[in-house]
Amino acid sequence: NAGVTQTPKFQVLKTGQSMTLQCAQDMNHEYMSWYRQDPGMGLRLIHYSVGAGITDQGEVPNGYNVSRSTTEDFPLRLLSAAPSQTSVYFCASSPWSGGETQYFGPGTRLLVL
């Protein structure tokens, strides 16, 4: 199993550009989530999904969209990038029965100029 994969590893955007961060998992997990991690602030939940076709907002959803058309994929879209979105983004998945034990992808480092 590849586990949780994320692409790209690093991205530079200009203010106002849009892009999609990709996340995929091959463990047949129902629960998937997106976090951003900023220095000194820990992980903050952006959006999460408890199964295909179901998504919900987390703590900091503004400026981001998600969709979950399959169990495997959970892309995160930045609609119009802003410098405040410069961060490291982690995707995670978990078996729904537990929800807690989340397996993290390697992260995407995003720089918005």
Partner 1 sequence: EDKVVQSPLSLVVHEGDTVTLNCSYEVTNFRSLLWYKQEKKAPTFLFMLTSSGIEKKSGRLSSILDKKELFSILNITATQTGDSAVYLCAVMRGGSNYQLIWGAGTKLIIKP
Q: Would you tell me which residues interact with partner 1 (CB under 8 A)?
A: 31, 33, 35, 40-45, 48, 50, 56, 58-59, 90, 98-107
* Closer residue to partner 1 (CB): 13 or 35: 35
* Calpha distance 111→113 (Å, rounded): 6
Least distance CB 16 / partner 1 (angstroms) = 29
* Calpha distance 15→29 (Å, rounded): 34
Least distance CB 18 / partner 1 (angstroms) = 25
Tell how far CA 102 is from the center of its chain.
Answer: 13
Alpha helices of the chain — where are they, by DSSP H?
A: none
- Taking the CA atoms of residue 93, residue 95, residue 99 and residue 101 in that order, the dihedral angle to the nearest 10 degrees is -70
Helix (H) or strand (E) holding 19: strand 19-25
Least distance CB 94 / partner 1 (angstroms) = 9
* Closer residue to partner 1 (CB): 35 or 74: 35
* Calpha distance 104→69 (Å, rounded): 20
* Closer residue to partner 1 (CB): 5 or 20: 5
* Closer residue to partner 1 (CB): 51 or 83: 51
Least distance CB 80 / partner 1 (angstroms) = 26
